[in-house]
Amino acid sequence: MRAKRIDLMHFKPVMCMSELRSDCLTMLERWRALWGLLLAAALLSSCVTREIDLRDQDGDGLNLLEDCNDLDAEVTAPTWYLDLDGDGYGDSGSSWLACTVPPGYVTSPDDCDDGDPLRSPGATEGAGDGIDQDCDGSES
């Protein structure tokens, strides 16, 4: 008599109980459990995260977190300037290097008073008021 082939992944003891002895069922359940553990271990090993190399690859002095293209030393992150008053001009003393614009930052560092949205290089000068609205260094 030829032995039956049993698919261990889809083995259902309830369906075959009348055909197999209980000790055989126990052995097959152990094999199925072992197969499940081996399969789980294989899946887990494929999901293990690998450490990311953050070292400077292109020799420009910036690591992967600071560099917009770490394969080309000519590509650098632009400088963004904090614009507290929202007039489109930032404070040259508050800058940030980033590949994309951070919230509240702009490209221009030319604001003469970042606390006053009415004073910036794009503002209209109010003659005779003693305030340099357009940041040109003179009141007129």
Render pLDDT for 4-51 as a digit per residue (tens, 0 to 9).
555 545 544 444 444 445 555 455 566 566 666 666 566 555 555 555
Rounded to two decimals, the pTM is 0.54
The answer to whether 92 touches 114, Cβ cutoff 8 Å, is no
Query: What is the predicted pLDDT for the residue at 14?
Result: 46
Which single residue is written with the structure tokens 């404070």?
91
> How confident is the model over 100-106, as a mean pLDDT?
92
Average per-residue pLDDT for the chain: 75
> How confident is the model over 44-67, as a mean pLDDT?
68
Tokens of 98: 């980033």
The answer to whether 84 touches 114, Cβ cutoff 8 Å, is yes
Answer yes or no: is pLDDT of 84 > 90: yes
Torsional sign, CA 99, 101, 102, 108: positive
Exposed/middle/buried for residue 95 (C-beta within 10 Å: 0-12, 13-18, 19+): middle
How far apart CA 105 and CA 86 sit, in angstroms, is: 9
List Cβ neighbours of 44 (8 Å cut-off, separation of 6 or more). Answer: none
The better pLDDT of the pair 89, 63 is held by 89
> How confident is the model over 129-136, as a mean pLDDT?
90
